[in-house]
Structure 1
């Protein structure tokens, strides 16, 4: 029997799921870029935080435009635009490394993230609709696993192909000629070129395949039966979820972006070994998604979110007060307890919105800008105080998430068919 005729959604589902993997790679290359460009472009901790800022600012600026554009051209058109922007940004890393311009690198980051905004705004709800609503959660959890897989291997790949393990100090610089020092910095900057050329090529290949496949358009008329009137800004649960998502993404990005430097500063671990430890920690992130999905069969999502929030508060207190190996292991453990947070906050935030759901979803996507703000605050604390102390900042984020989870006890349970989204 023809599988495509039996399940017309199978091939589109496979191709769309591959997008989760691709943006997972892009996201988790950032913790490698932060220490690498800090060295290659001679940046302060505060300046290096703008690597994340440029990336996540794009989500804030592009989420609503992406939603509006896809309202006109459909999911497929939006996905193709996203892939082309993604590839363009990846290719821009080559000339940015040639001229060793930090501003050029930031532009490349911004363009990549503009593409990812289109992909995340389209792929998440699209996967949810590709099949029986009763199995929507299963489909999205399956897609999430590929996102988590990518986030696990990306630091390992980045550590292998981008980080050199060579770190010359000011003392070394004093014994070198300006030409020798410049050659060292140029060599460091150039290591990003081949990895990002490969990423750009793969993304273009996926775009080509998708352009040749007929993707089913989703019938959205059903939302008219769930019309919800009034200003979307009066939806208190949605607004609280936007704040919680802002805090979650900020904490996730900040914890990962400064992990390598934390390992160096507090434990004397080299950048390559630290990148390997980050990869190990992110295995916990993937495992947490599978385990969290299983636990939600028996534990309400908001209760599990509250428990995981408390766990991360405790772990971060250990990281910034105790330090050393206990602090490092505590930071690694936070990845497990962050695993369910993005999709859970998202699904709890958009429930009951009816016809406002898509607009509400774009607001939560905009909240990803937290990844630009929180790491910058952490970097400032690190410059003024210490890398150990900067990990006190995400504690505030998890306190907000904890209060959001507690607020959900007053709201009726989510219907089985509600949207859940991966990040």
Structure 2
């Protein structure tokens, strides 16, 4: 895969490098926004759980619909991005996500849980297209050797969005909801508080769509490869990304990683609200979510430096081991130890997604777009794993249900140590 900048002379190679840097800087805004929106679900879950008197399983339908969009939309998004190009794909994703945020207004007006889920699905469809376009784009803006480091750096701004979102949600959703219920104990009043936050997000996403439609960004050009007798493009003897074992195992890694990360984030407010843990009110517990996602942000900045010296797979395996140990501590202790153990998992989650993603896309050549779509499809783990943990929490208790993320981290440990090299 190569890059061609919109430059007319080879003498402007330094200007081309500046253009690549400009592209990376521009893309950080996208990573920030989808991190912000994804984390806001962690605030939306306890709020709508209270509004509609939902069980844990029913509340996890929020993540099921949001991340289920990745499963349904990723492969079509890969084809769309291949036809439109990465920049137009980004603009399309932003426009759809903006529309999805706007749908929260009628959903709140009718105060129907199903409409909130539909709005989340549309919003997530736009985010899916952004993921399919932006991740391989960042991966290609430089050398293969530094791809993991580069993607970790941009993903750090994704984590910045997830760090800021809990404060935003706590102020504009949970604290306002508390005031509303003091005056009006009606689902309509509680549902209405999501209108302003999501309308603001809709406007910001629409503005970004306009800006990205006007930017002059480097174009990704995939190397031409010979076709086999059937007319299929071949690369290293393979006619499909699915023939690369490291991609298939990477897709499983993305599935379990996103599932574990989203499960922990989704249950944090409820976990910290347990009397045996911290006994915090929802609005207060939401502020602590920032420590979880803030750890991910710090870890990605550190990881982008560390992985220039240490192999990415080694760093991935170490982080998976530490995350599993911390979750086990949170499961088997109480009070401050359990609280800070689960929050510290975010630090070791940090480099997992971008590292798995870049390792899985390695050496795919013209099949990179297809590979990116497959990896983004695997983000459906964020729909399946939290729902399973919700069922477990309803039947065996909240704390024991965290064994599910431990199993997820065990596979990531395997992928970092061995699977990525297959």
Query: Given the two structures, how large is their TM-score scaled by the length of structure 1?
Result: 0.88
Structure 1 residues 133 and 405, CA, compared in 2 at 3 Å: closer, same or farther?
A: closer
Q: 1:209: Cα distance to partner?
A: 1.6
Q: 1:295: Cα distance to partner?
A: 2.2
Q: For residues 193 and 159 of structure 2, what CA distance do their matches in structure 1 show?
A: 25
Q: For residues 86 and 177 of structure 2, what CA distance do their matches in structure 1 show?
A: 45
Note the alpha carbon deviations across 1:221-247, whole angstroms, 9 max, x for none: 356694432554443222111111100
Q: 1:361: Cα distance to partner?
A: 2.0
Q: For residues 322 and 330 of structure 2, what CA distance do their matches in structure 1 show?
A: 12
Counterpart mapping for 1:2-401 below 5 A:
7-130=18-141, 139-164=150-175, 181-182=185-186, 185-221=187-223, 226-230=235-239, 232-265=241-274, 266-401=277-412
Note the alpha carbon deviations across 1:139-175, whole angstroms, 9 max, x for none: 434322221211111111111111127669xxx9xxx
Q: Which ranges in structure 1 are unaligned for 5 or more consecutive residues?
A: 412-423
Q: 1:276: Cα distance to partner?
A: 1.1
Residues 228 and 353 in structure 1, CA contact (< 8 A), matched pair in contact too: no
Q: For residues 132 and 351 of structure 1, what CA distance do their matches in structure 2 show?
A: 11
3-state DSSP of counterpart to 2:363: coil
Q: 204-213 vs 27-36, which deviates more?
A: 204-213
Query: Given the two structures, how large is their TM-score scaled by the length of structure 2?
Result: 0.88
Residues 228 and 354 in structure 1, CA contact (< 8 A), matched pair in contact too: no
Structure 1 residues 138 and 391, CA, compared in 2 at 3 Å: closer, same or farther?
A: closer
Q: For residues 388 and 137 of structure 1, what CA distance do their matches in structure 2 show?
A: 34
Please give the root-mean-square deviation of Cα atoms over the aligned residues, in Å. Answer: 2.5
Residues 228 and 356 in structure 1, CA contact (< 8 A), matched pair in contact too: no
Q: For residues 359 and 334 of structure 2, what CA distance do their matches in structure 1 show?
A: 35
Residues 4 and 11 in structure 1, CA contact (< 8 A), matched pair in contact too: no
Structure 1 residues 43 and 307, CA, compared in 2 at 3 Å: closer, same or farther?
A: same
Note the alpha carbon deviations across 1:158-213, whole angstroms, 9 max, x for none: 11111127669xxx9xxx9xx9532xx22221111101100000111111122223
Question: Size of the alignment, in residue pairs?
Answer: 400
